[in-house]
Structure 1
């Protein structure tokens, strides 16, 4: 029984230390990496966005890459391309009412860039989007 108590105390202390360490790491890195970060470099998808909701896709894009994207929706929606830095949001593109968009974004610096579509309407809306991360320097 003595061995059991020692192991129980050791595991309890390790669990408590790990718990507080995890909280500390999350606070130090808050806003550094989006929760919905995708590792895909190419994607074609149709998404249904309920009324008054949004859909977000975040990507890690470096300064020597470019992001080609386009989308279409049957009703006008809000759209933006943004990134987070030290708790603030910076918008590269911000559209309040757009039904289609076709663009090649060339970032100056590496960041986690997020494409966000919002449905301000009373009905659900389907968007079809395509994205592709490419190198800016072709051989």
Structure 2
């Protein structure tokens, strides 16, 4: 079983026991190297988009949301979580992830508000 599958399996158990609903999406690159997705992030919940990336790859990312979200890009090294990008209370942002290690990377948004937030994401490699 892959590292991502184990992490997602553990996360699923935690979410079920907490009664939370979150959206977790695997990155499926198009033929031209793009991944686009619209997500709804429920109040107090999160959405996460994850995929395996190879060292030396570069991914341009951009998102626009209908309200503020806490945002990060992360990966796991053993029990440690590493954050190449981490920002709070953003309705939009863009950047470039330069992949330093072969890893499963995740773009994650958390909605700390009491209203649902719609999110539009574009990744390009």
TM-score by length of 1: 0.69
> Hey, what does 1:55 align to over in structure 2?
47
> Hey, what does 1:18 align to over in structure 2?
none
Deviation at 1:39, TM superposition (A): 4.9
Name structure 1 gaps, 5 residues minimum.
1-25, 135-139
Equivalent residue in structure 2 for 1:122, among 102, 109, 114 = 114
Residues 43-122 of structure 1: matches in 2 within 5 Å? 43-122=35-114
Partner Cα distance (1:47, 1:58) in 2: 14
Name structure 2 gaps, 5 residues minimum.
9-23
Partner Cα distance (1:98, 1:77) in 2: 5
Query: Does the 8 Å contact 1:37/1:60 carry over to 2?
Result: no
> What value does the CA root-mean-square deviation take over the aligned residues?
1.7
Which structure has more helix as a fraction of its residues? Answer: 1
Larger radius of gyration: 1
> Hey, what does 1:38 align to over in structure 2?
26
Deviations 1:74-111, CA, capped at 9 Å, x for gaps: 11110000001112111111111111111111111111
Query: Does the 8 Å contact 2:27/2:49 carry over to 1?
Result: no
Partner Cα distance (1:129, 1:61) in 2: 17
Partner Cα distance (2:72, 2:120) in 1: 15
Deviation at 1:38, TM superposition (A): 2.4
TM-score by length of 2: 0.76
Which structure has more strand as a fraction of its residues? Answer: 2
Deviation at 1:126, TM superposition (A): 0.2
**Paired residues, number:** 104
